[in-house]
Amino acid sequence: MSVSDTHRTIDAIWRIESAKLIAVLTRIVRDIGLAEDLAHDALVIALEQWSQNGIPNNPGAWLMTTAKRRAIDLIRRNKLRDQKYSEVARNTDLYTEDDMDHNLDGEIGDDLLRLIFMTCHPVLPQEGRVALTLRLLCGLTTDEIARSFLAAEATIAQRIVRAKRTLRDRDIPFEVPAGEELSDRLSAVLEVIYLMFNEGYSATSGNQWIRPLICQEALRLGRVLAEIVPYEPEVHGLVALMEIQSSRFRTRVNSRGEPVLLMDQNRAEWDQLLIRRGLKALDRSQKLGRPFGPYSLQAAISACHAKAPTAPETDWIRIAALYEALSRVLPSPIVDLNRAVAVSMAFGPDFGLQIVDMLGNESSLKGYHLLPSVRGDLLVKLGRFDEARKEFEHAASMTRNERERELLLKRAAECNSAH
Amino acid sequence: MRFMMIVKATSDSEAGVLPSQEQFDAMQKYNEELVRAGVLLAADGLMSSSNGIRISYPEPGGKPKIMDGPFTEAKELIAGYTLIEVKSREEAIEWALRMPDPHGFGQGEIELRQVFEIEELTNNDDLLAKETALRKQVKEQRQA
Amino acid sequence: MRFMFIVKATGYSEAGGNYNQKYTDAMIAYKKSLAGAGVLVSAEALHPSSTGIRIMYPSDSEKPEILVGPFLADQELIAEYTLIDVDSEADALNWALRMPVPTGCGEFKIEVRKLKKNLGFLRYSGTCALEADLKDQLSMLKNF
């Protein structure tokens, strides 16, 4: 094996092992930044030794043992300075390669969970959470993260430094939150994963057909989480949502790099394996026997589209019901507008219009251009073109997006010629 | 990128002999590890070829020929597959190396193959270069 | 949110002189502390305006007019800038006040300006996904 081959192999091993290493080391040294440094030290030692002596049989265990030794050495050196750490050192057993295997399953899973609760902690700004999670749990380099977000490497690097500092300065504990806090904190974790996914999912543009890295990482992290906390229905819900959305990757952009709407996508090209995985994850969520949360509901809606052989065969009644449920757990105008359109598809535009009109009375929606825009579409469906034209013009006056304004004005003009 | 780890058939797997408890446990533990790493997409074992049929087309455009199993050349047969999604070829190799010897008795063989994805089919450099050339040609024609 | 600290030129910086070693050291330490806190985006010092050019677009002509430096060391000249990314305006001001100042070189000015559109690197949210769903649904509404 040449040196560069060894380096590539070590890269691959690092990708598989780094999150586990950092998680276990954070438990020992209680500092995420220090843990990452120690894991890197172990990697550097591996690079030196493996290039000369070859890669050991169990490289994961080798890295773990080496990193832990360094952690404990460090703690011993600081012993006089900090009594607390020396306690930790005394109680930390060094694993040998043999007993590594026994500890892999339960304990490391717990440490990974603690780590993700830390990187997604609410004291961090959203962007800090995303960057730190990609770095520590997905093992991405700063450069890879920067390229995925079209951001400067220095910006991402500094975000990560800042996030680590904040965690240290605020003395954020390495633990799984208990009691009522758990569900809030878990939503924060799921939010970070879904944010990552959406960022990658929406980023496809131009001839950038390659599936964005962070999308795949979000899905992978979701799958990992589903194994560590199998008793949380929303984790499976989120995984289901991401699997089903991913199944449409290859059809959502045409060969010119333009987005293709769901209706026009070639359903034969949807990835059936991912759809099947998504439906299975949704099933796991349902089997836990609690009412669906926002992710499971969105996954269930997505599943309706995935199961329809053709667009006209979509089960709109079920979709309308699911949006109704979603509007209760995730009240927001955009959910209500979706519900209004689904209801129109299921029961006719009269019923959809009733929902939109009720929304129109809410002052919080004043200035939301999608409201008149949807109202306009429903009015067109009812043949009330004069009213529809006014709605489109109104919507056009509200949007700041040039392209959107053009489209809306075009719709308004079409209403004139419809007479 | 997706890779398929193909476990080749052996005389045992073809004879319908189930793996030992030890092998079974090792394989299960390995699959769990794949799941925990979030890389496993699908894994299945196949029944022996005595259960299979072969459809061949000996003459181009002619009628298919149907043959019932079992088939003889064990090395060419597959006994199971595991589909994984990873970031690099090296990572796939690393996972394949971690798979336990599927059969023992010196017959175990795992083949690692990359799965074609639409991106590779459409986004290869040749096609892109051709497209760029075509665009340039069209532009020149318009200007002419 | 991002802020720019603009260090204005002085007669001294325009003459191409380096401020004293104490200032240089303090500036290096300051940048290190910015980086250590994870707020530094970039920091650059500019050559004196004698190496610069100005491209002017007079109102009565479409052609640009090119002026070669040096330019008058008035309020418009910049000598250095530091770009930081912090969580609040208070943080920005705090960092600005800690920026070292050379002694014995006359008046020294640092301008603090907030950068427009702090989009950061996250552009999308869960709402965007729901808006995309709405678009999909509306296209079906129009067609069926």
Write out pLDDT tens, residues C39-83.
998 899 899 988 889 888 888 877 888 888 888 866 678 989 999
- What is the model's pLDDT at position A277? 96
Considering only the beta carbons, identify the residue of A11, A105, A224 that sits closest to B37. Answer: A224
Percent of chain A with pLDDT strictly greater than 90: 64
The lowest-confidence range among A33-37, A166-170, B75-79 is B75-79
- What is the model's pLDDT at position A369? 86
Q: What is the mean pLDDT of residues B75-85?
A: 89
- What is the model's pLDDT at position A76? 82
DSSP state of A393: H
The answer to whether the bond into A331 is cis (omega within 30° of 0) is no
Structure token pair of residue A368: 């939301």
Report CA A251 to chain centroid distance, whole Å: 21
Strand-strand pairing, C40-45 and C78-85: antiparallel
Residues 6+ apart with CB under 8 A from A323: A301, A335, A338, A339, A342, A343
Complex ipTM = 0.84
Are A and C close enough to touch, i.e. 3+ CB pairs under 8 angstroms? yes
**What three-state secondary structure class fits A253?**
strand
Closest CA–CA distance from residue C111 to any residue of chain A (Å): 22
Q: What is the mean pLDDT of residues B83-96?
A: 94
Are B and C close enough to touch, i.e. 3+ CB pairs under 8 angstroms? no
Positive or negative torsion for Cα A165, A171, A175, A176? negative
Considering only the beta carbons, identify the residue of C40, C121, C142 that sits closest to A377. Answer: C142
Q: What is the mean pLDDT of residues A19-30?
A: 93
Tokens 């020396």 locate to A86
The string of pLDDT tens digits covering residues A88-142 is 555 555 444 444 444 444 577 889 999 999 999 999 988 899 999 999 999 999 9
Are B36 and A16 in contact (CB < 8 Å)?
Answer: no
Higher pLDDT, A205 or A365: A365
Q: Residue A265's closest CA among A279, A285, A247?
A: A247
Give yes or no for residue B130 having a pLDDT over 60: no
Positions of E strands within B10-144: 40-45, 53-56, 65-68, 78-85, 110-114
Q: What is the DSSP string of B30-65?
A: HHHHHHHTT-EEEEEEPPPGGG-EEEE-SSTTS--E
Q: Residue A391's closest CA among A415, A417, A373, A378?
A: A373
CA distances from B136 to A60, A150, A206, B128, B132 (A): 52, 28, 17, 12, 6
Task: For the domain made up of B2-117, give the CATH fold.
Answer: Alpha-Beta Plaits (3.30.70)
All structural domains of chain C, each given as residue ranges with its CATH number in brackets, are 2-143 (3.30.70.1060)
Residues 6+ apart with CB under 8 A from A208: A257
Q: Residue A63's closest CA among A76, A45, A81, A78?
A: A45
Are B36 and A228 in contact (CB < 8 Å)?
Answer: yes
Are B36 and A224 in contact (CB < 8 Å)?
Answer: yes
Cβ atoms A224, A109 nearer than 8 A = no
Q: Where are the domains of chain B?
A: 2-117
Q: Is A379 exposed, middle or buried (0-12, 13-18, 19+ CB in 10 A)?
A: buried
A334-419 CATH pick, 1.25.40.10, 3.30.390.10, 3.20.20.480, 3.40.50.920:
1.25.40.10
Interface of B with A in 91-130 (CB under 8 A): 91, 93-95, 117-119, 122-123, 128
- Whole-angstrom Cα distance, residue B9 to residue A373? 61
Are A255 and B33 in contact (CB < 8 Å)?
Answer: no
Max mean pLDDT range (A57-61, A129-133, C84-88):
A129-133
- What is the model's pLDDT at position A96? 42
- What is the model's pLDDT at position A412? 92
The lowest-confidence range among A8-17, A293-302, A328-337, C67-76 is C67-76
- What is the model's pLDDT at position B11? 83
Closest CA–CA distance from residue A128 to any residue of chain C (Å): 10
